[in-house]
């Protein structure tokens, strides 16, 4: 996209470019930003961008071709941004500088946006976000309840800058932290700032980042490595993907700073192969940083050099564990090994290696730039800063959110999330994916931070928050996660490999109606054994979903085994579909829809479901307009 990147050879060069880029990007000229995150893209934001460009051209307005073209300072710019977070209402279009926020924009809306907003300066009412609970419409992004309660640090420029143009990042203070650091700071200084800031690993463990860097710095060695762990495998999590797609340069700058701090000259980004767009954006960003001399040998003439390579994962959840990840980069089966030695002592190819998560690294440049005191003003005493969560499931506003650590669960679900969708009742939040646990109504006042969550048997994990309503069966949720960890167990430890399999069998037995009361005790015993006897985090935390559902929803397990009932009416084997003869008019709709021909009956006469044949898919219930099909 950008062709004429200039070499940046000194801090002064960077400042000069920043001044120009900032003046061009954040001027009074209108700027149309179309969200190009995965969510908005899949809803057609590429078509929206094309339609907008065409409509603008048709209206006779000039579109900026190059950001820094002096002759076009007043021209309109139209570009893509990374994820804006509010995926639920995409495709999103923002009009700057006023920050008008349009949702669910279609290509056919382009003409109205150009004529009414860009030319006449008015908002197009029908495209404004409308709060589902209050019905109120909002013109500006920052007034929307979803955003009001958020604080963006890691996500600051996501949804605002064009991730495909390094100059956008530079305009917003990009690489300034690096320039300041290379101008006279020592690695010890950097480690100190990060330590003082209290930044802890955002990938799940919560290990203090400054301490990790300090240890790796002190280990002697000519060759050291930085690894960015972007193997975001937790189901229900997409924070790292969004940061890589929306602001890849922040991660690159974070990696270079980490390299400087520990004395490494080479880094790897290990990304999931399931994230093709993230890989593509990262690759482009690395190339642009190299062209600008912000990455490579002798960065900013400081004598310090750093190189970054991308390694694509190949679909193994366990590779999120650092020693397994290292094995995978080396070209082997991704299996964890015992620690110690820790990667800081002996990591990639036996060299001291520092493994940091994407979000952790994205926080680094801002902390260096604004100081540890600034960072500490957010969050709690022991969990400083903010955390990005992927808020999904049965909640009104799904998307990517960033809130100060210590924000209560209730505030996240009801203030940011807008409550439960479809009028259901809040039942639980599953946090931390297959390693995490469940939080209930009793935890709505619980602050979300590392230590509070651990105290109730859950964990921040990578940050997936899946909200579930009263129609969710908790035994089924436990079975779902156990199925996941069982299939992802690498098989190295017998206890994890066989233990998760036996636990899954028991959970399947319970959800299919074959459970006996002793199963619950066996399940608990197995859970404790797997937790205590496994080598890596996958096995150690695999029983968490079972233990936490057993703790908070034991009555549901008991209903399955004692009363042979699924209280949430979700488990297929406990379901019977039945047609109420009083309401059925014999329209044959359900019979036509039934994939297994289990429904019989003559036209205009009540129909009957053959319970033997029925596979309980619910298609008949969905299609019946008279609501004659009932679930018993």
Q: How far apart are CA 390 and CA 393, in angstroms?
A: 10
Q: How far is the CB of 315 from other proteins (least distance, A)?
A: 3
Find the binder of other proteins among 217, 227, 237, 364 (CB under 8 A). 237
- What tokens were used for 332? 């082997």
Which of 162/231 has CB closer to other proteins? Answer: 231
From residue 77, give the alpha-carbon distance in Å to each of 91, 398, 417: 18, 29, 32
Q: How far is the CB of 436 from other proteins (least distance, A)?
A: 10
Q: Which region, judged by CB under 8 A, interacts with other proteins, from 7-15, 54-62, 98-106, 226-234?
A: 226-234
Which of 234/449 has CB closer to other proteins? Answer: 234
Element (H, E) at 78: strand 77-81
Q: How far apart are CA 535 and CA 540, in angstroms?
A: 7
Asked if residues 586 and 603 have their Cβ atoms less than 8 Å apart, the reply is yes
Which of 79/394 has CB closer to other proteins? Answer: 394
Which of 33/335 has CB closer to other proteins? Answer: 335
CB neighbours of residue 26 within 10 Å: 14
What is the length of the chain? 632
Find the binder of other proteins among 466, 478, 561, 591 (CB under 8 A). 466
Q: In Å, how far from its chain's centre is CA 588?
A: 44
What is the DSSP pairing of strand 353-357 with strand 225-230?
A: parallel
Angle at 614 between CA 613 and CA 616, to 5 degrees: 155
Q: How far is the CB of 247 from other proteins (least distance, A)?
A: 16
Which of 464/515 has CB closer to other proteins? Answer: 464
The residues in 320-379 that bind other proteins, with binding defined as CB under 8 A, are 328-335
Find the binder of other proteins among 34, 55, 400, 503 (CB under 8 A). 400
Element (H, E) at 357: strand 353-357
**Residue spans of beta strands (DSSP E) within 245-313:** 266-271, 307-312
Find the binder of other proteins among 18, 21, 24, 38 (CB under 8 A). 38
Which of 199/271 has CB closer to other proteins? Answer: 271
User: Residues 270-309: x/- map of binding to other proteins (CB under 8 A)?
Assistant: ---xxxx---------------------------------
The residues in 522-581 that bind other proteins, with binding defined as CB under 8 A, are none
Backbone angles phi, psi at 332, to 5 degrees: -110, 175
Non-local (6+) Cβ contacts of 278 within 8 A are 230, 240, 241, 244, 245, 248, 271, 272
User: Residues 61-100: x/- map of binding to other proteins (CB under 8 A)?
Assistant: --------------------------xx------------
DSSP, residue by residue, 376-444: HTSB-SSSBSEEEEEEEESBSS-EEEEEETT-BHHIIIIIIS-SBGGG--EEEEEESGGG-EEEEGGGT
Q: Which region, judged by CB under 8 A, interacts with other proteins, from 28-36, 235-243, 354-362, 573-581?
A: 235-243
Q: How far is the CB of 316 from other proteins (least distance, A)?
A: 5
Find the binder of other proteins among 236, 246, 447, 539 (CB under 8 A). 236
User: Residues 421-460: x/- map of binding to other proteins (CB under 8 A)?
Assistant: ---------x--x---------------------------
Binding site for other proteins (CB under 8 A): 38-39, 41-43, 87-88, 232-238, 241, 273-276, 311-317, 328-335, 390, 392-394, 398-400, 430, 433, 464, 466, 468, 472, 480-481, 484, 488, 490, 595, 615, 617-619
């Amino acid at each position: 996209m950008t062709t004429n990147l200039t070499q940046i050879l000194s801090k002064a060069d960077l400042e000069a470019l920043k001044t120009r880029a900032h003046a061009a990007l954040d001027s009074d000229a209108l700027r149309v930003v179309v969200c190009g995150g995965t969510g908005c893209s899949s809803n057609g934001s590429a078509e929206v961008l094309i339609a907008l460009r065409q409509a603008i051209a048709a209206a006779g307005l000039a579109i900026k071709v190059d950001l820094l073209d002096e002759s076009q300072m007043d021209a309109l710019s139209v570009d893509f941004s990374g994820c804006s977070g509010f995926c639920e209402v995409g495709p999103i279009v923002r009009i700057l500088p006023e920050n008008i926020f349009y949702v669910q924009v279609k290509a056919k809306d382009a003409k109205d946006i150009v004529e009414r907003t860009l030319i006449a300066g008015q908002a197009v009412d029908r495209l404004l976000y409308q709060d589902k609970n209050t019905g109120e419409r909002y013109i500006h992004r920052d007034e929307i309840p979803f955003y009001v309660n958020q604080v963006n640090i890691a996500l600051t420029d996501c949804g605002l800058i064009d991730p495909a143009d390094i100059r956008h990042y530079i305009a917003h203070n990009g690489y300034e932290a690096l320039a300041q650091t290379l101008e006279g700071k020592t690695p010890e200084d950097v480690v100190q700032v990060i330590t003082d800031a209290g930044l802890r690993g955002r990938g799940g463990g919560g290990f203090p980042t400054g301490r990790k860097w300090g240890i790796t710095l002190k280990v002697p060695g000519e060759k050291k490595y930085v690894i960015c762990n972007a193997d975001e495998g937790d189901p229900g999590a997409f924070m790292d993907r969004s940061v890589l797609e929306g602001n890849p340069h922040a991660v690159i700058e974070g990696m270079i700073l980490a390299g400087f701090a520990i004395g490494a000259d080479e880094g790897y980004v290990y990304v999931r192969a399931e994230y093709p767009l993230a890989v593509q954006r990262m690759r482009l960003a690395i190339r642009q940083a190299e062209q600008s001399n912000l990455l490579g040998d002798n960065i900013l003439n400081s004598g310090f050099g750093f190189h970054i390579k991308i390694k694509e994962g190949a679909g193994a959840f366990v590779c999120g564990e650092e020693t397994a990840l290292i094995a995978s980069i080396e070209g082997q089966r991704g299996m964890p090994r015992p620690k110690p030695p820790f990667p800081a002592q002996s990591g990639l190819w036996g060299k001291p290696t520092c493994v940091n998560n994407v979000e952790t690294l994205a926080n680094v440049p801002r902390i260096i730039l604004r100081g540890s005191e600034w960072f500490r003003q957010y969050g709690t005493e022991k969990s400083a800063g903010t955390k990005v969560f992927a808020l999904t499931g049965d909640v009104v506003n799904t998307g990517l959110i960033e809130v100060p650590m210590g924000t209560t669960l209730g505030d996240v679900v009801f203030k940011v999330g807008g409550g439960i969708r479809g009028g259901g009742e809040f039942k639980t939040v599953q946090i931390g994916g297959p390693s995490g646990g469940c939080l209930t109504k009793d935890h709505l006042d619980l602050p979300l931070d590392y230590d509070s969550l651990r105290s109730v048997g859950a964990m921040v994990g990578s940050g997936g928050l899946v909200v579930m309503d009263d129609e969710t069966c908790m035994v089924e949720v436990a079975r779902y996660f156990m199925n996941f960890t069982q299939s992802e167990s690498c098989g190295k430890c017998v206890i994890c490999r066989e233990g998760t399999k036996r636990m899954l069998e028991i959970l399947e037995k319970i959800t299919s109606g074959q459970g006996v009361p002793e199963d619950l005790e066996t399940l608990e015993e197995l859970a404790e054994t797997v937790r205590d006897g496994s080598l890596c985090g996958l096995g150690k935390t695999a029983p968490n979903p079972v233990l936490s559902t057993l703790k908070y929803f034991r009555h549901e397990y008991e209903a399955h085994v004692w009363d042979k009932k699924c209280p949430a009416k979700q488990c297929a084997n406990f379901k019977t579909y039945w047609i109420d003869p009083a309401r059925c008019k014999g329209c044959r709709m359900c019979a036509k829809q039934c994939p297994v021909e289990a429904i019989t009956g003559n036209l205009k006469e009540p129909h009957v479901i053959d319970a033997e044949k029925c596979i309980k898919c619910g298609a008949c219930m969905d299609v019946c307009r008279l609501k004659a099909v009932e679930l018993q």
